[in-house]
Amino acid sequence: MQHVGSRMLLLGFGLAAATALPVGAAHAVDAAAITTQGNGKGAAPCMACHGVDGGGQASTGNPRLARLDAAYLQKQLDDFAGGARTSPVMQATAMALSDDERAALAAYYSKLPIPPVLMKPVTPMPATDSVGAVLATRGRWDKQVPACVQCHGPSGIGVGAHFPPLAGQPAAYIEAQLKAWQQGTRHNDPLQLMQHLSNALSAQDINAVAGWFAAQPLDAKGATP
């Protein structure tokens, strides 16, 4: 095995030398250029829908990408490309991106600062005893729905690579994702955590909890103040 391994290595060096690629050339993707111009191979300019600052678009429900975890973002792009997550807009773009481009774009967006507009949400904060607030912070245990913040972090600021932030996402986006799990058009969640939970929610619950998270202000680091 060692023998084969070293031959593969030599072959690798040979190829790199033959094409005169500098080491690490695979990472030399200009992610910023793709966000403004697309990649010229079918991937649309990201900023047209996700905003110049990666803050998303509340009116259309296009999600915020700025300061989301890089591994999470990359997984979503892979899932769109592979079909575990369906979207008429995102799938064609994700499929037109190479693996390196997806990784570079995920890294790029994960490092963008929180757009100031998300620090002061336009919608007022729902009351603490409203349906949305109760679902988000306490859950509904008789229906086996844990509090959203148990996984998504206090006020939905997000936790690591697996639990994305909900704070600072448009209400329409959160709502659409919960419905996509109900309908099975998004089936990329580990252990079907989100699918089970979404199925236990009514349309009114979904609307209320989405409104609560969309109303959470963020500070500059991406956490809630």
DSSP 200: T
Contacts of residue 52, defined as CB under 8 A and 6 or more positions apart, other chains included, come to none
Q: What are the contacts of 155-161 at 24+ separation with CB within 8 A?
A: 155/216, 155/224, 156/213, 156/216, 156/224, 157/218, 157/222, 157/223, 157/224, 158/68, 158/69, 158/222, 160/69, 161/69, 161/70, 161/71, 161/72, 161/75
* Binding range to ligand HEC, per CB under 6 A, among 3-11, 15-23, 173-181, 217-225: 173-181
With binding defined as CB under 6 A, does residue 90 bind ligand HEC? yes
Shortest Å, Cβ 165 to ligand HEC:
7
CB 187 within 8 A of CB 214: no
Q: Which of 51, 78, 81, 93 binds ligand HEC (CB under 6 A)?
A: 93
Q: Which of 51, 104, 163, 215 binds ligand HEC (CB under 6 A)?
A: 163
Shortest Å, Cβ 97 to ligand HEC:
6
Contacts of residue 36, defined as CB under 8 A and 6 or more positions apart, other chains included, come to 45, 47
Closest to ligand HEC by CB, 8 vs 89, is 89
Q: Which of 65, 66, 114, 118 binds ligand HEC (CB under 6 A)?
A: 65
Fill in the per-residue mask, 45 to 64: x = in contact with ligand HEC (CB under 6 A), - = not in contact. Answer: -x-xxx-----------xx-
Q: Closest Cα partner for 169 from 103, 138, 218, 214? A: 214
Q: Which two tokens stand for residue 113?
A: 């600062």
Closest to ligand HEC by CB, 34 vs 118, is 34
Residues binding ligand HEC (CB under 6 A): 34, 43-44, 46, 48-50, 62-63, 65, 68, 73, 75-77, 87, 89-90, 93, 105, 135, 145-146, 148, 150-152, 162-164, 166, 174, 176-178, 188-190, 193-194, 197, 209
